[in-house]
Amino acid sequence: MNRSRSKAYRISIIGLLTALIIVQSFVPMIGYISLGAVSITTIHLTVIIGAVMLGTSGGAELGLIWGITSMIVAYTTPADPLSLLLFRNPIIAIVPRVMTGVVAGLIFNQIKSSQKTGSVGTIKMIFSGIAGALTNTALVIAFTWLFYASKAATLVGNGASSANLGWVMMAMLGVNAIAEAIAGGIVTPLLGQALIRFRRD
């Protein structure tokens, strides 16, 4: 793929995935699936696929877009009280999302970088999907502890204190983390392999 074609390809993929993130963010039950008190996202899949296709910089850009839309949603139509609390903080809203794309892109594009299809490519995509999803959840929990540990009992409830906030958050977000990691491990290779072949063709 020559340089001009590669640049056009990158712009088109970024544009398409950005549009998809916006739709996922603002159309109910597409990007955020509400299950009672928790909300499971599917937007990480779009960011991870972008990271697989475009590398760490593309993943970071899409993660930034996801983070900005997360913050907008938290201010306008939060899906649950936890989103209202956490994602109005720009660091919690943006940094974990950006790092989701960076980690997924690093795993897929830096480990055995010449092998992107076949069984090795599939295995890398599975790990990229799982690691990207878990990166988001882990950093959300870490930043929540950093910013809100002293106010845990008031803001989070559920028996939270400055000493156990991390554990309480893991319990509250455990369903999210498992579901999002499984989805990442399954969907990333299914879509990623098809898109990689399309790019090569």
Residue 138 token pair = 């882990």
pTM equals: 0.86
* Count of beta carbons in the 10 Å neighbourhood of residue 135: 22
pLDDT at 154 over 60: no
Q: What is the mean pLDDT of residues 171-199?
A: 83
Q: CA nearest 107: which of 141, 140, 130, 84?
A: 130
35-74 pLDDT tens trace: 665 667 899 999 999 999 999 999 999 999 999 999 999 9
Domains and CATH numbers, the chain: 3-200 (1.10.1760.20)
Distance between CA atoms of 127 and 96, rounded to whole angstroms?
17
